[in-house]
Amino acid sequence: MKKYIIHFVLVVGLTSQSITTDQLSQLAFRNIGPSVTGGRIHDVESLPDNPAVVFIASASGGIWKSSNKGTTWKPVFDNQAVSTFGDLAISPSNPNILYAGTGEQQNRQSTSWGNGVYKSTDQGETWRSIGLENTYHIARVIIHPRNPNIVFVAALGNLWKSSEERGVYKTTNGGQSWKKILYLMMKQVWLI
């Protein structure tokens, strides 16, 4: 499932009546950022109890945070070794805890690879690497709804050959250790 943000301003006064076609024609769309080379955004997440706080995980431009519904953005991952992401997850039970899976999940000729999973315990202000460094491309991160220490990660491994790192991983201790719980070795198939 893809996630998109559409931000618009209606420049007419609205009442409890229905919106007219004329009013809809006055909608003005504008780019609110973040703007990065390539422009690919792989995930958009907002805090469950405060949708004004939004995070964007980009293909090759890091993680960005807005605290005002997308009006302004700040980079929150600039001090790390990578800037490419496949997925970002916010804990439903503790919105201060975020997990970020690095490496693009889209298989294409210019796919950027990452170096595992990162965790933040202060709403994205600081991050630390918590393993799975050789998974290269993380497509999905899911946090247990009631326990932020239980996390599932779907990793693609090396996109260009068979990879022992491909599979689904689980941690029950917040990333201190990981166990591969699902794995299927697939051989490289060349289509001509």
* Assigned CATH topology for domain 36-182: Methylamine Dehydrogenase; Chain H (2.130.10)
How far apart (Å, rounded) are the C-alpha atoms in residues 11 and 190? 53
Contact 157, 113 (CB under 8 A): no
State pLDDT tens for residues 152-174.
999 998 888 888 899 999 999 99
Which residues are bridge partners to 87 per DSSP?
101
pLDDT at 14 over 90: no
Mean pLDDT of 4-16: 44
Domain ranges of the chain: 36-182
Output the pTM of the full model: 0.76
Token pair 């239980």: residue: 150
Query: pLDDT class for 36, splitting at 50, 70, 90?
Result: very low
Q: Is 179 helix (H, G, I), strand (E, B) or coil?
A: strand
How far apart (Å, rounded) are the C-alpha atoms in residues 59 and 40? 5
Contact 130, 122 (CB under 8 A): no
